[in-house]
Amino acid sequence: MGTDVAGGARIDIVTMGPQGLTTREDVLAIEEALEIRVVGTEPVITMRTPGQDRELAAGLMLSEGLARTRGDFEMLCHLVDEPDVVQIALKHFSNEKAEMLQRSSFSNSACGVCGKKRLDLGTMENLGPLSPGPAVSGELLCSLPSRLREHQRLFAETGGLHAAALFDDSGELQAVQEDVGRHNALDKLNGWALLNHRLPLTGQIVVLSGRASFELIQKCIMARVPVVCAISAPSSYAVRLARKFGITLVGFLREGRFNIYSCPERILDQSAPGSWGHGTESLAH
């Protein structure tokens, strides 16, 4: 076992190749449990890649409707000498909020709704409509995956991490977060925005390195993200949710092509798609 790098663990492995079996060093994405202790309720556990734990916890509180601003926290910190424990004290904490947290029962890094006792859309229903903008071009959207890859340091080393990135309407990268869990990466991004007074994310674009599922769209709704782009496919429930709440959902985002699954009015349809694509015949291919 070699020396670990931030977010990755070096190990010796055996590889089968043209020359037969050889040994070499590999870097694996680290996955460890984080215990989140919210004062007034039972601790909850989530699996994550260590790093940006405060942002992850803040993003989880946002996703569950328990916090919307930095001012909603009286305490958000690691316990002394316990790097895998985050202590949270929420202002105006109530029995209702405690029940909301216990219903969430988030417990693993694979799925943000796995283990939930039931799906609750009430918190999202109480939010106002999303802003009508931004209006963005197909050319700009098609440039985002390569910009995201340039900042996926841990993925480049391990090949085993998801990423969520925030761009403004001019395509400038605002932040990127990586984690072994898809929903953790987005929670870290949303938590970063919350702790840095960047919410709501009006006029911003979120790019997901994988597929778009229900829980990721739900988290974007809570952060008020109007445009969500996924490198891979969306699920049917994700599309239904995006249409219901007015999110522009883009899938299969590649250089020169993508699909628009909801609210296409935010995407500028250029008269000459071939000028930004490679033989693309329509904007939503």
Supply the pLDDT for residue 92: 85
Q: Which residues pair with 77 in a beta bridge?
A: 87
Instruction: Say which residues have a Cβ less than 8 Å from residue 163's Cβ, sequence separation at least 6.
Output: 148, 151, 152, 155, 176, 177, 178, 185, 208, 209
Q: What is the pLDDT of residue 4?
A: 54
Q: Quick one: pLDDT at residue 273?
A: 44
Per-residue pLDDT tens for 224-246?
A: 999 999 999 999 999 999 999 99
Q: Are strands 162-167 and 205-208 parallel, antiparallel or unpaired?
A: antiparallel
- Any known ligand binding at 255? yes
Name the amino acid, one letter, at 189: L
Identify the pLDDT of residue 8: 78
Distances 162 to 54, 136, 182 between C-alpha atoms, Å: 18, 25, 5
252 is in an annotated binding site: yes
**pLDDT value of residue 104:** 61
Which pLDDT score, from 0 to 100, does residue 103 have? 64
pLDDT at residue 5 in the model: 56
Active-site annotation holds for 229: no
Q: Is 256 annotated as a binding residue?
A: yes
Q: How far apart are the first and last CA of the chain?
A: 47
In angstroms, the CA 152 to CA 165 distance is 10
Q: Which domains does the chain have, with CATH numbers?
A: 32-125 (no CATH), 136-275 (3.40.140.10)
- Catalytic site residue from 77, 111, 220, 263: 111
Ranges of the chain with pLDDT below 70 = 1-7, 100, 102-122, 154-160, 270-285
- The pTM of this model reads 0.86
Residue 85's pLDDT is: 97
Which pLDDT score is estimated for 123? 77
Residue 254 counted as an annotated binding residue = yes
pLDDT of residue 96: 74
| Residues sharing a CB contact under 8 Å with residue 55, sequence separation 6 or more, in sequence order | 177, 187, 188, 189, 191, 192, 195
Tokens of 109: 């890094």
